[in-house]
Amino acid sequence: MGDTIITSTLDGNVLVVETKDGVLTYDSKFLVAALLIYVARGSGTIEPEESAKMLELIEIHFQLQGAESLELLTRAMSEMAERPDLGGALAELGSTLSDQEKEDIALMALKVIAADGRREVAEMEQFNTAVQAAGISPEIVHRAFDRYFSETMPGS
């Protein structure tokens, strides 16, 4: 199994990862899918509501068809399971994102956390770890929280 990363480098907006089985590439779409999965797994399992919310958010954000969104999430889950050290390498892609993209990603992660109607401390800890690793500043996270509450609070 080629689960160990030998090298990883950024080539423009693409992360190129070399394993003993060959070279793999990852883009910002994959980063978003992996980050959402990482956050959703914070409570130990991904709830059906969280899965549905991830599919919906990826579909809308990247303007993908349902099958493409599902394929992206499935690939991200599979590759993150096969290569536990991939998360650290993926964090390098954070530097290729604009502040607006980072804010959008943080907002999507908040929506995934809230999808099952429960507030889990472990999911918020995963969220904090993920946004830090992706280089999303506290100011950007704060803006994402503001957007989340303006979209979800009654009378907003």
The mean per-residue pLDDT over the stretch 96-120 comes to: 93
Report the mean per-residue pLDDT for the chain.
90
The mean per-residue pLDDT over the stretch 87-97 comes to: 86
- Closest CA relative to residue 34, chosen from 84, 76, 81, 71: 76
- Tracing tokens 């493409």 back to the chain, one arrives at 68
In whole angstroms, give the CA distance from residue 146 to residue 68.
Answer: 30
Is residue 137 classed exposed, middle or buried when 0-12, 13-18 and 19+ CB atoms within 10 A define those classes?
middle
Per-residue pLDDT at 1: 47
Confidence check: pLDDT of 107 > 60: yes
Supply the CATH number for residue 35's domain.
1.10.3680.10
For residue 104, what are the domain limits? Answer: 5-152
**How many separate domains does the chain show?**
1
Per-residue pLDDT at 93: 85
CB 42 within 8 A of CB 116: no
Please state, for a pLDDT cut of 90, what percent of the chain lies above it. Answer: 61
Of 47-56, 60-69, 85-94, 129-138, which gets the smallest average pLDDT? 85-94
In whole angstroms, give the CA distance from residue 63 to residue 57.
Answer: 9
Q: Which residues contact 56 (CB under 8 A, 6 or more apart)?
A: none
